[in-house]
Amino acid sequence: MTNLVKKCLQKKINKEKAIFLLRFFKTQKGQYGEGDIFWGITVPEQRKIAKKFKEINFYQIQELLNDKIHECRLTGLLILIEKYKKADPSEQAKIFKLYLKNYKNINNWDLVDLSAPAIVGNYLLNKDRKILYRFAQSNYLWKKRIAIVATFAFIKNKQLDDTFEIAEILLNDKHDLIHKAVGWMLREAGKRNKKAEIDFLKKYASKMPRTMLRYSIEKFSESERKKFLCLT
């Protein structure tokens, strides 16, 4: 069955787009996506294939997640999301555990952003969230991005505390991809409770990396943006 999924993906290969994606996702030596291989397939096309094969089993999904091709891993994650939507609590727990087990295969920002809220965030909505704090304190880039981006599911449910607490943990992180992710989540939290975001920024704006701050205040008025940018 895994081969059938790959054959469907191979029919959508776009070599020109693949070349662009190799640059876009920083796959050169020393970059965050070093060694990744792309087929140049769009996410909508992968979603269609994921829905077609949503009944494949966990073993087959694991094969996709282990694949060296970026789109195979992403399609595997999209299938997991499809399964999660229809799963009972017991099955959701298995999907959550499989996801965490595969954190090393969820190794680029699109893989994290498209899957962490849908699986990790949704699973933890009414559960203990200590795992996110452990991930946030990790030295591994993608664990940290999973930790903060997973909170998007909480934000959508007007649960903002974890976003601010994990953002605080990541304030001094050195990686641009964490700066962007934290700023993005702060901005989303601010859409639900601007006062809470402003209170956080008043306390931490002077310590935040400039990219993180710029992302977080993107929806503010010009005068508000200038006020906070002057603090850095």
Same domain, 52 and 105: yes
Tokens of 217: 């205040």
For the chain, give the mean pLDDT.
Answer: 96
Same domain, 4 and 118: yes
Whether residues 40 and 108 fall in one domain: yes
Residue 232 has pLDDT above 90, yes or no: no
Q: Are 104 and 26 part of one and the same domain? A: yes
pLDDT score recorded for residue 158: 96
- Answer with the one of 123, 140, 162 that is the final residue of a domain: 123
The reported pTM is: 0.96
In this structure, the number of other CB atoms found within 10 A of the CB of residue 59 comes to 9
Q: Do residues 132 and 72 share a domain?
A: no
What confidence category does residue 230 fall into, taking pLDDT thresholds of 50, 70 and 90? confident
- 159 and 116 in a single domain? The answer is no
Measured between alpha carbons, how far is 119 from 209 in angstroms, rounded to an integer? 29
- 36 and 109 both lie in a single domain: yes
Domain stop point among 62, 88, 123: 123
The amino acid at residue 50 is A
> Which of 123, 142, 167 represents a domain boundary (last residue)?
123
Q: Are residues 116 and 28 in the same domain?
A: yes
> In the chain, count of helices (H) and strands (E)?
16, 0
Q: Are residues 14 and 83 in the same domain?
A: yes
Specify the CATH number for the domain of residue 203: 1.25.10.90
Report how many domains make up the chain: 2
Asked whether residue 180 falls in the same domain as residue 204, the answer is: yes
DSSP state of 221: -
Does 141 share its domain with 49? Answer: no
pLDDT in tens, 50-100: 999 999 999 999 999 999 999 999 999 999 999 999 999 999 999 999 999
Domain that holds residue 226: 127-232
| 15 Cβ contact partners less than 8 Å away, ≥ 6 residues apart | 40
Same domain for 229 and 116? no
Determine the pLDDT at residue 2.
82
Q: Which of 103, 201, 87, 203 is nearest to 147 (CA)?
A: 103
